[in-house]
Amino acid sequence: MGWRPQGPVARPLLRHVVSIGPGPYAMAVCYNGRGNVNSGQNGNLRPMDFTTSCVHSANKSRLPRTRNMPWWMLAALVFLLVAGACRSPQAENPTSPSPALPPPDNRPGPPIAPDISSLPPREQQLVVWAPDFLEAGADDRERAILAAAYQRFEQAHNGVNLEVHIKAQFGTASMGNYLRSAQRVAPAILPDLVLLDTQQLWPLVDVGLIQPLDVANEVQIADFYQFTLDAVTYQGQVYGIPYLADVIHLVYDPNRVNPAPPTWEELLQRGPSYLMPLGGSDGYGNDSLLLQYVGAGGQLLENGGLSNPEALQAVLAFLHQAHSRGILPDTALTLADLDAVWTAFHAGAGAMAHVSAHTFLQDDGAGNGLGYAQVPTRQGLPATIARTWAFAILTNDPARRTLALALVQELLAPEVQGEWTALAHYLPSRRNSLEAWPDHGGYLDFLSRQLEVAVALPNGRAFAEFSRNIQSLQQAVLRGELTPEEALLQMEAAAEP
d(CA 326, CA 158): 64
d(CA 322, CA 319): 5
pLDDT tens per residue across span 9-56: 333 333 333 333 334 333 333 333 333 333 333 333 333 343 333 444
Q: What is the pLDDT of residue 330?
A: 94
* % pLDDT > 90, the chain: 62
Please, where are the H alpha helices in 157-213?
175-185, 201-206
Instruction: Evaluate if residue 220 carries a pLDDT over 70.
Output: yes
Cα(first)–Cα(last) distance of the chain, in Å?
Answer: 55
Contact 75, 104 (CB under 8 A): no
**Which of 141-152 are b and which e, b meaning 16 or more Cβ less than 10 Å from the residue's Cβ?**
ebbbbbbbbbbb
Residue 233's SS3 state is strand
> Which domains, ranges and CATH numbers included, belong to the chain?
13-239+391-434 (3.40.190.10), 245-388+449-495 (3.40.190.10)
Q: Give the residue from 341, 159, 152 showing the smallest Cα distance to 250.
A: 341
pLDDT tens per residue across span 97-126: 333 333 333 333 333 333 433 445 545 799
- Report the C-alpha dihedral over residues 18, 20, 25, 29, rounded to 10 degrees: -40
Q: What is the pLDDT of residue 135?
A: 65
Average pLDDT estimate for 457-480: 94
d(CA 441, CA 349): 28
Q: What is the pLDDT of residue 282?
A: 56
pLDDT tens per residue across span 383-404: 999 999 999 999 999 999 999 9
Phi-psi region of 281 (alpha: psi -120 to 50; beta: other; left: phi over 0): alpha
Instruction: Evaluate if residue 215 carries a pLDDT over 60.
Output: yes
**Average pLDDT of the chain to the nearest whole number:** 79
pLDDT tens per residue across span 315-349: 999 999 999 999 999 999 999 999 999 999 999 99
Contact 411, 392 (CB under 8 A): no
